[in-house]
Amino acid sequence: MRTTLLAALLIIPGLFVAGVLHADSVDKAALKAEAIGIVKQFGGTLKPQLKTALKEGGPAHAISVCSTTAPEIAKSLSQSTGWSVKRVSLKARNTETAMPDAWEKSVLAKFDERQAGGESAQKMAYAEVVDGQFRFMKAQGVEEVCLKCHAEKIAPETEKALQEHYADDNARGYTLGQIRGAFSLSKQL
Ligand code: HEC
């Protein structure tokens, strides 16, 4: 009787701990891989459309394309994957969709610190389980092409197109390599 009780006392918590550790490591890696796949789909759909629009009609035309395409892609990916999918920034252009919550703000601030410390945005990402949600953010760095619409100095017609679509645009003044914002994904566990 005593040994059975002792065995139970040792084995049951042991199984519990093993189960938790196991679920933790396996699920996190799989969820992260899933999130990275969705980010690639987002970028892989948006970027070619942006480039085509720029080629066809310059930045002003690309802005009107981007203003409908980007939110559409985010919405359709959210519907097809079951994840919440968006882009956020500390200096949002689309102030309806891109305002970060407290957790996103702190991650974006850490991305800025990491970038200032010399890390490239290329592979910069962060994942964490917060309040029963798996949350993942992937930084978006400023490349040459981004400057046409996110630098301090831009063409007058680009300026005009931005004012038409985004009355309270904050997404200006960026230089090469800085963190423009991030893809932010979350999934209820
Ligand atoms: C043709 C102009 C143009 C170019 C070039 C451009 N963007 Fe943007 N960007 C926009 C517009 C317009 C929005 C708002 C889209 C929306 O309403 O969702 C935006 C929004 C964003 C957002 C979402 C957060 C926010 O502030 O609304 C990120 C992140 C972003 N851009 C990053 C980039 C990066 C990185 C590049 C270069 C690879 C880039 N952009 C190039 C016009 C541009």
Q: How far is the CA of 142 from the centre of ligand 1 (A)?
A: 10
Give the separation between CA 31 and CA 189, rounded to whole angstroms.
Answer: 10
Q: What is the pLDDT of residue 27?
A: 85
Average model confidence (pLDDT) across the chain = 90
Whether residue 149 has its Cβ less than 6 Å from ligand 1:
yes
Q: State the average pLDDT over residues 119-131.
A: 96
Q: What percent of the chain has pLDDT over 70?
A: 86
Predicted pLDDT at 16: 47
Residues 6+ apart with CB under 8 A from 78: 84, 85, 86
Asked whether 71 lines ligand 1 (CB < 6 A), one says: yes
What ranges do the domains of the chain cover? 33-188
Contacts of 58 (CB under 8 A, 6+ apart): 155, 157, 158
Tell me the percentage of the chain whose pLDDT exceeds 90. 85
Given a cut of 50, is residue 178 above it in pLDDT? yes
| Res. 17 pLDDT band, cuts 50 70 90 | very low
Task: Return the pLDDT at 25.
Answer: 55
Q: Which atom of ligand 1 is nearest to the CA of 67?
A: 17
Q: What are the pLDDT digits (tens) for 63-106?
A: 988 999 999 999 999 999 999 999 999 999 999 999 999 999 99
- Is the pLDDT at 5 greater than 60? The verdict is no
Q: What is the pTM of this model?
A: 0.88
CB 100 less than 6 A from any atom of ligand 1: no
Q: 4-18, 38-52, 120-134: lowest mean pLDDT where?
A: 4-18
Q: For tokens 């960026």, what's the residue?
A: 174
3-class DSSP state of 86 = strand
